[in-house]
Amino acid sequence: MHEDIYGNADIIEAYSKHTSSQREQTPKRTQHSESEPTGRRCYQLAIVCLGILCFLLLMTVIVLFAYNNGLREEAKKNKAEMAQISSYLTSNYSEKLELQTSYSTCTAEKEQLQMKYSTYTENDRKKQIQFCPKGWTRFETRLYCISTEKKTWQESRQDCKNRGADLIVINSRQEQDIILHTDAWIGLTDREREGTWKWVDGTPLTTSFWRDGEPNNVGEEDCAHNNAGTNPIKSWNDKGCSAKSFWVCEKEA
């Protein structure tokens, strides 16, 4: 009996403790419900912060994308400029090579011309014809001289005859070169028959060195005359025989 009483007393005490603990817990529940708005605010704040971070991240991505595009454009532009410069340099290099080649060719041509000029000058000096009063210039088996005065073709021929010679008969290119730098009568005429040219020794004309358009017999031109010029194979002209000029005599050595 006593044990039952004590047992019940324990149960009552336990219930009493449980009740009191419930009473103590009740205010805690009240406290928890008060902290709920604060937690929501924290959550909202976190959402806002996250949104701001996302926005900043997005902006960073956009800026980086734009910057990258700018870099690409600049790289493309630089590449185009490099291509232009490369093309310009290549073109200049080709031009330089062409100029160098041209310069080399010109230099070689100049040397050749200088050599020819030296040879020509030497030959010309050797062939320089002497004046008739002084003496004769020899070429192979023939002798030549040029007058120091001017006369008609007929008078000139007579002067040569007085010297035991006749007006020059040009039988070759070498003989033509002898009178290259002279303005003088030569022993060629078509007085006997117009258009039929004959040398004073009676031989017909075979090798001729007429200028372009000559002989043209303008106003009756029947005597051949050599005009000094740069073209040795085109230097003859038919003139009126009464014109006065220097002349060249030729005779056997």
Residues within window 117-146 making contact with Ca ion, judged by CB under 5 A: none
Tell whether residue 190 is a contact of Ca ion (CB under 5 A): yes
The answer to whether 251 and 166 are in contact (CB under 8 A) is: yes
Residue (169 or 243) nearer to Ca ion, CB: 169
Task: Count the residues of the shown chain that bind Ca ion, applying the rule CB under 5 A.
Answer: 9
Tell whether residue 172 is a contact of Ca ion (CB under 5 A): no
Among 132, 144, 222, 224, binds Ca ion (CB under 5 A): 222
Residues within window 63-92 making contact with Ca ion, judged by CB under 5 A: none
* Alpha carbon 18 to chain centroid, angstroms: 114
The least CB distance from residue 157 to Ca ion, in Å, is 14
Side-chain-side CA neighbours of 212 within 13 Å: the count stands at: 2
The answer to whether 244 and 232 are in contact (CB under 8 A) is: no
Among 130, 154, 171, 227, binds Ca ion (CB under 5 A): 171
Among 147, 167, 209, 221, binds Ca ion (CB under 5 A): 221
Tell whether residue 188 is a contact of Ca ion (CB under 5 A): no
Q: How far is CA 96 from CA 25, 91, 146, in A?
A: 102, 9, 53
Among 86, 217, 231, 242, binds Ca ion (CB under 5 A): 217
Residue 27: asked if its preceding bond is cis (omega within 30°), the reply is no
Q: How many other β-carbons are positioned within 10 Å of the β-carbon of residue 154?
A: 15
Q: Which stretch binds Ca ion (CB under 5 A): 64-72, 113-121, 128-136, 212-220?
A: 212-220
The answer to whether 208 and 215 are in contact (CB under 8 A) is: no
144 CB contacts (<8 Å, ≥6 apart)?
Answer: 129, 130, 136, 137, 138, 168, 178, 248, 249, 250
The least CB distance from residue 124 to Ca ion, in Å, is 19
Query: Which H helix or E strand runs over 188?
Result: strand 184-189
Q: Which stretch binds Ca ion (CB under 5 A): 21-29, 114-122, 204-212, 218-226?
A: 218-226
190 CB contacts (<8 Å, ≥6 apart)?
Answer: 196, 197, 198, 215, 217, 222, 238
Q: Which stretch binds Ca ion (CB under 5 A): 17-25, 75-83, 155-163, 232-240?
A: 232-240
The least CB distance from residue 236 to Ca ion, in Å, is 9
The least CB distance from residue 162 to Ca ion, in Å, is 19
Which residues is 226 bridged to in the sheet?
184, 236
The least CB distance from residue 106 to Ca ion, in Å, is 39
The site for Ca ion (CB under 5 A) is made up of 169, 171, 190, 216-217, 221-222, 237-238
